[in-house]
Amino acid sequence: MAKAKILRTDAELRIVEGYMADLEKVAHVVTAERDDADTLCALARDADLILTCYAEIPAPVIEAAAKLKGIVKYGVGTDGIDVDCATRRGVMVVNCPDYGSDTVADHAFALLMALARKITVLDRVMRDGAWVWPAPERLGVDIAGKTIGIIGMGRIGRAMARRAAGFAMEIISHSPYQKECPVPAEFVSLDELLGRSDFVSIHATLTPETRGLLGAAELKAMKPSAYLINVSRGAIVDEDALCAALDEGWIAGAGLDVFHDEPLAPGYPLLGLDNVILTPHLAWYTREAFARVEQDTMDGIMAVLEGRRPEHLKNGEVLGQ
């Protein structure tokens, strides 16, 4: 019996490399050297499964893959996969939603704390001059007693709320589809959240509703002393408006792990700003979370190949569920 073919994208990530010996016992793994649609269409024609992380899997790629049984996402968000097309074709879409909720929330709260206390600026100035004396531009702010506005109260949003509660913050949230929180929280409109919050932390998924959710008007509605944290998806924030907000002082600063276009190009306008902390979409990247996502991804792959229902199937309709 011929082995199944798995098309693996994102060559630079070497997805599930630690499990490759086991995987190659049951499948032939082909890694795409480029992730453009034409390349993926050509390689997907005889693929049984597509294993992906950041690469876009649009309808033409799915339509080109006549034998395709499943698309497994190495991570949480499936906004880069045409799930509607996959569902029409009877292709299972599987993700890994549980591996890093606390991990990503840790990173988001670390950004919040570093912004509040100007940690990255103090570190840089210390390295340049060996000491920093008190000065108005180095003055931080307390976290206790401040209001955090959490946009999206899903797994990561709830984990962020727990951390905020531990630091005696007041928690408000705008979350149209999730109204439960493990700690006391007030659910409010987006406008109210933006106007009241000292820190706004984005934990929503990217959907047509949330794309561009925060534009110029929304950023201007925030306090000039407020900070924005985004570890979700870059496209939720209008990046041109955010650049203007930071340059013109509409808000005090931002901590960003996600961007419209990744990786960033040299000359990216926020690279030189002291009131911005940038990390390279690695909020999820700890030793423990890495081990969990590798195992969860492998479990999803094997379920598809063996004809079982994957634990984290996004489109249960394909199985009549």
Q: Which amino acid is at 224?
A: P
Q: What is the pLDDT of residue 19?
A: 95
* Percent of the residues in the chain that have a pLDDT greater than 70, as a whole number: 99
The residue type of 32 is A
Strand pairing report for 49-52 and 199-202: unpaired
**Which of 268-289 are b and which e, b meaning 16 or more Cβ less than 10 Å from the residue's Cβ?**
eebeeeebbbbeebebbbbeeb
Nearest-angstrom CA–CA distance, 281 and 150: 19
Partners of 255 in beta bridges: 229, 277
| CA 75 vs CA 54, 183, 235: distances in Å | 9, 26, 17
Rounded mean pLDDT of 99-128? 97
Whether 27 contacts 305, CB under 8 Å: yes
What is the pLDDT, as a whole number, of residue 160?
Answer: 98
- Count each helix (H run) and each strand (E run) in the chain, helices first: 11, 12
Residue 1 has pLDDT above 70, yes or no: no
pLDDT tens digits, one per residue of 165-188: 999 999 999 999 999 999 999 999
pLDDT category of residue 320 using cuts at 50, 70 and 90: confident
What residue type is 121 in one-letter code? V
pLDDT in tens, 47-67: 999 999 999 999 999 999 999
Instruction: Assess whether 233 carries a catalytic annotation.
Output: yes
Q: Which of 107, 158, 196, 233 is catalytic?
A: 233
| Structure token pair of residue 36 | 């453009």
- For domain 4-99+288-319, give the CATH superfamily: NAD(P)-binding Rossmann-like Domain (3.40.50.720)
Parse the chain into domains and list their residue ranges.
4-99+288-319, 101-278
Which residue(s) pair with 228 in the sheet?
200, 254
Whether 4-99+288-319 shares its CATH topology with 101-278 is answered yes
From residue 278, give the alpha-carbon distance in Å to each of 225, 230, 231, 267.
19, 10, 10, 14
Dump pLDDT digits (tens) for 62-81: 999 999 999 999 999 999 99
95 C-beta neighbours (distance < 10 Å), count: 22
With a pLDDT cut of 90, the percent of the chain lying above it is 98
Q: Are 257 and 231 in contact (CB under 8 A)?
A: yes
| Complete DSSP assignment for 95-154 | ---STTHHHHHHHHHHHHHHHHTTHHHHHHHHHHHS-----GGG-----TT-EEEEE--S
Greatest Cα pair distance, the chain, in angstroms, is 72
Q: Check 155, 174, 196, 281 and give the catalytic one.
A: 281
**pLDDT, average across residues 210-215:** 98
Within 10 A of 1 (CB to CB), how many other CB atoms are there? Answer: 3
Pairing between strand 276-278 and 253-256? Answer: parallel
User: Any catalytic annotation for residue 262?
Assistant: yes
Q: Does domain 101-278 have CATH number 3.40.50.720?
A: yes
Residue 2 is predicted with a pLDDT of 80
Is 113 exposed, middle or buried (CB count within 10 Å of its CB: 0-12, 13-18, 19+)? middle
Q: Is 91 strand, coil or helix?
A: coil
DSSP strands (E only) in 170-252 = 170-174, 186-187, 199-202, 227-230
From the candidates 12, 262, 288, 311, give the one annotated as an active-site residue.
Answer: 262
E strands present in the chain: 4-8, 27-31, 49-52, 70-73, 92-94, 147-151, 170-174, 186-187, 199-202, 227-230, 253-256, 276-278
User: Which tens digits make up the pLDDT trace of 252-308?
Assistant: 999 999 999 999 999 999 998 999 999 999 999 999 999 999 999 999 999 999 999
Of 61, 63, 58, the C-alpha closest to 78 is: 58
| pLDDT given for residue 187 in this prediction | 98
